[in-house]
């Protein structure tokens, strides 16, 4: 396999400078019927940060991400992205604002090849209209080739060259997660939201994934929000961590503060007063 | 000029442009070119009027079937109103040609646009409805359109039908099977080309994404409703053009043929031809049209030949029976349709005659 040859052009320094990503969640409340999924969550992510959200099962981590990416509508509270109120913006318009995500249960298109899956993410970056597309004008062709070249750089970065023409449905789980990361990167998001990117992976796959995320975040300054259960990874790579429990915010701070927080220990390991 | 590949042992593209061509190899391009030459120089001059009529009908039906395949096969929105949309196109062309005296070459595309608009209106329910429920909504569209065509007598002349003036392009009158053959098949090739172009750009990719996983499509920045409407619009445009050509070709039209049966027949073409395959629509249209003609002939023959003395009436529903059986057999044995059969035949010839 050919080694990774360099930084993809969509992550060049000039482009990264323009990718301000200030996410601000204010007093977010979401309930489903009587179930309080999130209550009064405040959170702020700065440009270039790797912000992790952790918490036990059912704590509301994915609900929070779904609110930010427009799949759920919160009852109360506001979400601001770069100063703009995005609480009620439609999901597909949020992509244009620069919010890209991956899903917990991979939402790729199983019947399409890896390449077509990633090409789809270039949708908002294709600038041609319907008329030229119907006639396949030379400008359309050039644009398609340009996107194809960008994708090849991402494919090189993620080391998925051998599978680029395989159907996603035939790939093992770990590779699918990697393809999904590639697809999210092809969106050129200002902020990348990852919902459990390490779930169900082998150790080697996790190591690869960590390598990609560190390269993206520390090397190229990609802002990220990460939801993850694997504590060793979260503690090692994230700059700030927010802990949720039963829809409420327990703590926020850098990895060391979180590790030494008695509230967090209680949420994860239970109350030791009963012993 | 670059080196031509006529019989490659595999497709090894070394430029990104090669990945987005319609034909994978020069062999395919040459075959298509040869096919077109044969189509335009031999077919119309070597066939009798009846066969040429059937071929023309196949051409028109193919245009409509490609349209339905864009909607059903690529976007995954199953529509039972396609027959009515063809009717809208036919009536739009007829009304424009008679009351507004539009020339042929304007009436056909405008009829397509009118039908696209009507199709988008009837595609509106897709904002909330999916799958079978949407199918039922389009079924309602079929009946509403049929009702309007019959009962809006001041516009459509109701059950009397409309007789169209003869078509002409640039002063040349198009009359008879042979001259219509050229008009129909040039349109078919142009429409096929446009459909393949749509499918290899971002619009086609968005359609396929909506079919496969609409939630993820939305997460890729695709406004689902807008693209579903676009699919309905494009699909109906094809239906409208086909309807307009049919109206001019048959000279007189009435509401009768554009019923639910026709819609089901178009759906059968898409399924038998191959869902999500443009060439498949043409195969499906050919198969169903030829099947229809053969069965009509066979039914007539059996009923009059006297072999089945006393049982003649039993063979009357032969057409429906074989038609249904064909659909069931295809779904069972070749769900990807005739296009897949064609692919298998082609690939088995790939190494011929030196396979091992």
Interval A210-252: pLDDT, tens: 999 998 888 888 899 999 888 888 888 888 999 888 888 888 8
Distance from CA of B185 to the nearest CA of A (A): 18
- Looking at chain B, the number of H-run helices and the number of E-run strands are 15, 4
The model's pLDDT over A90-139, given as tens digits with 9 standing for 90+, comes to: 888 888 888 988 888 888 888 888 998 999 989 888 888 888 888 888 88
B320 pLDDT exceeds 90?
A: no
Distance from CA of B336 to the nearest CA of A (A): 14
d(CA B252, CA B91): 10
With beta carbons under 8 A apart, name residues in chain A contacting B201. 126, 128, 133, 136, 140, 144
Note the pLDDT of residue B349. 76
Note the pLDDT of residue A127. 87
Are B110 and B96 in contact, with CB atoms under 8 Å apart?
yes
Note the pLDDT of residue B14. 77
B9 pLDDT exceeds 70?
A: no
Greatest mean pLDDT among B230-239, B292-301, B310-319 lies in: B230-239
Note the pLDDT of residue B246. 93
Any domain includes B183:
yes
Contact between chains at B220 and A101 (C-beta distance less than 8 A): no
Are A14 and A34 in contact, with CB atoms under 8 Å apart?
no
**Domain around B149:** 47-258
Residue of B11, B202, B222 to mutate for A, most A C-beta atoms under 10 A = B202
Question: Residue A71 class from Cβ within 10 Å (0-12 exposed, 13-18 middle, 19+ buried)?
Answer: middle
The model's pLDDT over A182-216, given as tens digits with 9 standing for 90+, comes to: 999 999 999 999 998 888 888 988 999 999 999 88
Are B266 and B83 in contact, with CB atoms under 8 Å apart?
yes
d(CA B245, CA B233): 18
With beta carbons under 8 A apart, name residues in chain A contacting B221. 92-93, 95-96, 121, 123-124, 187
Distance from CA of A181 to the nearest CA of B (A): 12
Other Cβ atoms closer than 10 A to B261: 12
Q: What is the mean predicted confidence (pLDDT) over B24-35?
A: 84
Note the pLDDT of residue B187. 93
Contact between chains at A90 and B223 (C-beta distance less than 8 A): yes
Contact between chains at B206 and A187 (C-beta distance less than 8 A): no
Beta strand residue intervals within chain B, DSSP E: 162-163, 167-169, 172-174, 252-253
d(CA B72, CA B235): 9
Are B77 and B231 in contact, with CB atoms under 8 Å apart?
yes
Are B284 and B192 in contact, with CB atoms under 8 Å apart?
no
Contact between chains at B218 and A109 (C-beta distance less than 8 A): no
From A177, A196, A235, A233, select the one nearest A64 (Cα to Cα).
A196
DSSP-derived letter for residue A170 is: G
- The CATH superfamily assigned to A9-274 is P-loop containing nucleotide triphosphate hydrolases (3.40.50.300)
Here the ipTM equals: 0.86
Any domain includes B112:
yes
Note the pLDDT of residue B276. 87
Q: Is the peptide bond before B353 cis (omega within 30 degrees of 0)?
A: yes
The model's pLDDT over B109-153, given as tens digits with 9 standing for 90+, comes to: 999 999 999 999 999 888 888 888 999 999 999 999 989 988 888
What is the percent of chain A where pLDDT is above 90? Answer: 15
Q: What is the mean predicted confidence (pLDDT) over B21-44?
A: 85
Is A227 strand, coil or helix?
A: strand
Note the pLDDT of residue A1. 42
With beta carbons under 8 A apart, name residues in chain B contacting A121. 220-221
Average of per-residue pLDDT values in chain B: 86
With beta carbons under 8 A apart, name residues in chain B contacting A92. 218, 220-224
Look up tokens 């009507």; give the residue.
B118
Higher pLDDT, B155 or B241: B241
Higher pLDDT, A14 or A103: A103
Q: How confident is the model at residue B311 (pLDDT cuts 50, 70, 90)?
A: low
Q: How confident is the model at residue B8 (pLDDT cuts 50, 70, 90)?
A: low
Distance from CA of A129 to the nearest CA of B (A): 9
DSSP-derived letter for residue A30 is: E
Contact between chains at B212 and A122 (C-beta distance less than 8 A): no
With beta carbons under 8 A apart, name residues in chain A contacting B216. 103, 107-109
Any domain includes B25:
no
Any domain includes B334:
no
Question: Residue B172 class from Cβ within 10 Å (0-12 exposed, 13-18 middle, 19+ buried)?
Answer: exposed
Alpha helix (H) ranges present in B162-275? 176-199, 202-212, 214-219, 224-250, 260-273
Any domain includes B123:
yes
* B219 vs A91, A122, A130: nearest CB: A91
Phi, psi of B293 (to 5 degrees): -65, -45
With beta carbons under 8 A apart, name residues in chain B contacting A152. 16
Greatest Cα-to-Cα distance within chain B, rounded to the nearest angstrom: 71
With beta carbons under 8 A apart, name residues in chain A contacting B212. 109-112
With beta carbons under 8 A apart, name residues in chain A contacting B198. 133-134
Q: What residue in B sits closest to A103 (Cα-Cα)?
A: B216
* B221 vs A71, A95, A130: nearest CB: A95
Per-domain residue ranges of chain A: 9-274
Q: Please count the structural domains in chain B.
A: 1
Residue of A93, A113, A130, A188 to mutate for B, most B C-beta atoms under 10 A = A130
Q: How confident is the model at residue A2 (pLDDT cuts 50, 70, 90)?
A: very low
Contact between chains at A109 and B216 (C-beta distance less than 8 A): yes
DSSP-derived letter for residue A123 is: G
Contact between chains at A134 and B209 (C-beta distance less than 8 A): no
Note the pLDDT of residue A274. 54
Side-chain half-sphere exposure of A196, counting CA atoms within 13 A: 16
Is A207 strand, coil or helix?
A: helix
The model's pLDDT over B190-204, given as tens digits with 9 standing for 90+, comes to: 999 999 999 988 999
A38 pLDDT exceeds 60?
A: yes
Q: How confident is the model at residue B306 (pLDDT cuts 50, 70, 90)?
A: low
Note the pLDDT of residue B243. 94
Distance from CA of B131 to the nearest CA of A (A): 18
């Amino acid at each position: 396999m050919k080694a990774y040859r360099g930084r993809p052009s969509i992550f060049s320094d000039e482009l990264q400078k323009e990718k301000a990503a200030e996410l601000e969640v204010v007093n977010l409340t979401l309930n489903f019927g009587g179930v309080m999924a999130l209550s009064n969550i405040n959170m702020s992510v700065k440009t270039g940060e790797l912000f992790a959200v952790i918490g036990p099962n059912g704590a509301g981590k994915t609900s929070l991400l779904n609110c930010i990416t427009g799949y759920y509508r919160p009852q109360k509270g506001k979400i601001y992205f770069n100063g703009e109120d995005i609480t009620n913006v439609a999901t597909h318009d949020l992509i244009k604002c620069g919010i890209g995500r991956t899903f917990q249960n991979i939402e790729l298109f199983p019947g399409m090849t890896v390449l077509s899956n990633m090409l789809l993410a270039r949708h908002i970056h294709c600038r041609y209209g319907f008329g030229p597309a119907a006639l396949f004008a030379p400008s359309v062709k050039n644009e398609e080739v340009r996107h194809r070249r960008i994708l090849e750089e991402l494919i090189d970065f993620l080391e998925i060259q051998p599978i680029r023409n395989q159907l996603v449905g035939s790939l093992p789980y770990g590779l699918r997660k990697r393809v999904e990361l590639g697809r999210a990167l092809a969106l050129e998001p200002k902020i990348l939201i990852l919902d459990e990117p390490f779930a169900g992976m082998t150790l080697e796959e996790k190591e690869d994934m960590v390598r990609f995320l560190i390269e993206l975040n520390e090397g190229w300054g990609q802002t990220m929000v990460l939801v993850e259960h694997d504590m060793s990874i979260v503690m090692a790579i994230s700059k700030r961590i927010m802990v949720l429990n039963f829809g409420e915010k327990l703590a926020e701070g850098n990895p060391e503060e979180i590790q030494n927080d008695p509230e967090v220990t209680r949420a994860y390991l239970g109350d030791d007063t009963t012993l | 000029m670059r080196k031509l590949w006529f019989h490659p042992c595999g497709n090894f593209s070394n430029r990104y442009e090669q990945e987005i061509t319609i034909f994978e190899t020069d062999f395919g391009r040459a075959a298509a070119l040869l096919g077109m030459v044969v189509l335009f120089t031999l077919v119309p001059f070597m066939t009798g009027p009846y066969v040429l009529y059937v071929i023309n009908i196949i051409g028109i039906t193919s245009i409509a079937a490609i349209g339905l395949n864009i909607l059903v096969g690529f976007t995954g929105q199953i529509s039972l109103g396609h027959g009515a949309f063809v009717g809208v196109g036919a009536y739009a062309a007829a009304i424009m040609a008679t009351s507004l005296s539009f020339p042929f070459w304007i009436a056909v595309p405008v009829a397509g646009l009118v039908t696209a608009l009507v199709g988008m209106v009837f595609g509106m329910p897709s904002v909330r409805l999916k799958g079978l429920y949407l199918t039922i909504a389009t079924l309602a569209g079929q009946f509403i359109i049929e009702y309007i065509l019959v009962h809006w007598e001041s516009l459509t002349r109701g059950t009397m039908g409309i007789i169209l003036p003869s078509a002409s392009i640039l002063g040349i009158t198009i009359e008879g099977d042979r001259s219509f053959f050229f008009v129909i098949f040039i349109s078919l090739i142009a429409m096929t080309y446009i459909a393949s172009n749509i499918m290899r750009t971002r619009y086609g990719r968005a359609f396929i994404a909506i079919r496969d996983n609409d939630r993820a499509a939305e997460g890729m920045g695709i406004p689902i409703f807008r693209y579903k409407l676009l699919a309905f619009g494009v699909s109906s445009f094809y239906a409208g053009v086909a309807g307009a050509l049919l109206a001019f070709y048959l000279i007189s039209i009435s509401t009768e043929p554009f019923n639910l049966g026709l819609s089901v027949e178009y759906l059968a073409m898409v399924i038998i031809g191959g869902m999500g395959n443009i060439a498949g629509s043409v195969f499906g249209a050919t198969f169903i049209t030829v099947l229809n003609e053969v069965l009509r002939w066979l039914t007539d023959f059996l009923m009059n030949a006297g072999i089945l003395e006393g049982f003649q009436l039993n063979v009357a529903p032969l057409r429906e029976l074989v038609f249904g059986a064909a659909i069931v057999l295809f779904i069972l044995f070749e769900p990807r349709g005739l296009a897949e059969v064609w692919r298998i035949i082609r690939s088995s010839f790939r190494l011929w005659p030196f396979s091992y």
